[in-house]
Structure 1
Amino acid sequence: MLRPKRQQQVIIDRQILALHEAMVEKVIAEPHLLVGLQANLKRYMETGVISYGSALLWESILSSSADPATFRQLVLSDEQRMAQLRRRTIFSGILSEDEREEVLAKYIASELA
């Protein structure tokens, strides 16, 4: 049985994954949004929000964006390292508040089903 804190982290990671699924699909549909992701990455590096290693991983992921299947697979990977990267995501600003709320409402509904 999961401890309450661990269980809470699992739920948060699932919510973050649901948001990233929506953000990835939006970026694939609207490739001009990659400019914002690159700007976020640069700003996060300059301000120390993310480590050098994390920045390299994000750069690698962004470089795969020409191949939507690979891009999707990398961002949505179930590997622990990717879950950690998604917690300090460069994808901020991709979804509107309404889109974000819709994704989270669908996530909650799926958990209750």
Structure 2
Amino acid sequence: MLARTRKQRRSDVNERIKKIHNAIADKMMLQPELFEEVEKTLETRYHNKMMRYGSYLLWKGIIEARHQPGVFKALLLADDERTANLRRETIFTGILSEEEREQLL
């Protein structure tokens, strides 16, 4: 039996996180009032120095695209390394219930 490399494990985790964010994006489009809580989380984390300005700007840009669902989803689910890392420290906490998360995974 071969052990999985660190890169493979990281890639698997990123894919699970992306799958969760895909479901989050769908739910956000159906319940746009949830953006208010997400924006509060973003501002709180930034003002408490829990994220850098660059991450803040990326999240802000993603949120601002919410009125264009295709753009919002494309930005949130982008395959670049920076966005994958951003999703690992998501501001979309509490959007999916534990049951919804379990069903996805």
Give TM-score scaled by structure 1 length. Answer: 0.86
Equivalent position amino acid for 2:7 in 1? R
Instruction: Give deviations 1:13-68, integer Å, cap 9, x for gaps.
Output: 00100000000000011000000110110111122222111001100111110110
Computed over aligned residues only, the root mean square deviation of the Cα atoms, in angstroms, reads: 1.3
Give TM-score scaled by structure 2 length. Answer: 0.93
Q: Would the aligned equivalents of 1:23 and 1:91 in 2 still touch at CA under 8 Å? A: yes
Which residue of structure 1 aligns with residue 73 of structure 2?
72
Q: Would the aligned equivalents of 1:50 and 1:88 in 2 still touch at CA under 8 Å? A: no
Distance in 2 separating the partners of 1:89 and 1:101: 18
1:98-109 alignment, distance < 5 Å: 98-104=99-105
1:83-98 alignment, distance < 5 Å: 83-98=84-99
SS of 1:48's equivalent in the other structure is coil
Distance in 1 separating the partners of 2:9 and 2:48: 29
Q: Which stretches in structure 1 are left out of the alignment for 5+ residues?
A: 105-113
Equivalent position amino acid for 2:68 in 1? D
Equivalent position amino acid for 1:42 in 2? E
Distance in 2 separating the partners of 1:6 and 1:34: 33
Which residue of structure 2 aligns with residue 16 of structure 1?
17
Q: Return structure 1 stretches of 4+ with deviation > 3 angstroms.
A: none
Distance in 2 separating the partners of 1:51 and 1:60: 14
SS of 1:65's equivalent in the other structure is helix
Range 44-53 or range 25-34, more displaced: 44-53
Which residue of structure 2 aligns with residue 55 of structure 1?
56
Q: Which stretches in structure 2 are left out of the alignment for 5+ residues?
A: none
Q: Would the aligned equivalents of 1:16 and 1:86 in 2 still touch at CA under 8 Å? A: yes
Distance in 1 separating the partners of 2:40 and 2:78: 23
Distance in 2 separating the partners of 1:47 and 1:89: 15
